[in-house]
Amino acid sequence: MWRVYVRQHQKIGPWVERLEGRPGWVWKTAALAAVLTVLVPLVALTLAALLVGLVVFALLAVLAWLISLPSRMFGAGPTMPRAPNEDGRVNVRVRRNSE
């Protein structure tokens, strides 16, 4: 129903006739161009965002490693027990079940 109205419309009718007379490959090419116009920048922006995120993550990981390097070098971390029977606990009562 609406197609008949559009074709019989005084201003839109001639444009519809011109567009319907075009071959199918023209429509397919136009649709492909429209899709690529939207899709290519979207994919490019997504890849750029991923790349920036990876670079920022790597830089922050290296920065965290460099910041923690002095404390790891000068023994601020956990130490090994000094004697075989000493496990590093102080003022702790160890209960052993003798069964």
C-beta of residue 63 within 8 angstroms of C-beta of residue 57: no
pTM of the complete model: 0.48
Digit-coded pLDDT (tens) for 26-77: 878 888 899 899 999 999 999 999 999 999 999 999 999 999 888 777 765 5
Q: What are the start-end ranges of the H helices in 1-99?
A: 2-8, 13-20, 24-73
- On the question of pLDDT at 81 being above 90, the answer is no
Residues 6+ apart with CB under 8 A from 79: 88
What is the mean pLDDT of the segment spanning 11-22? 77
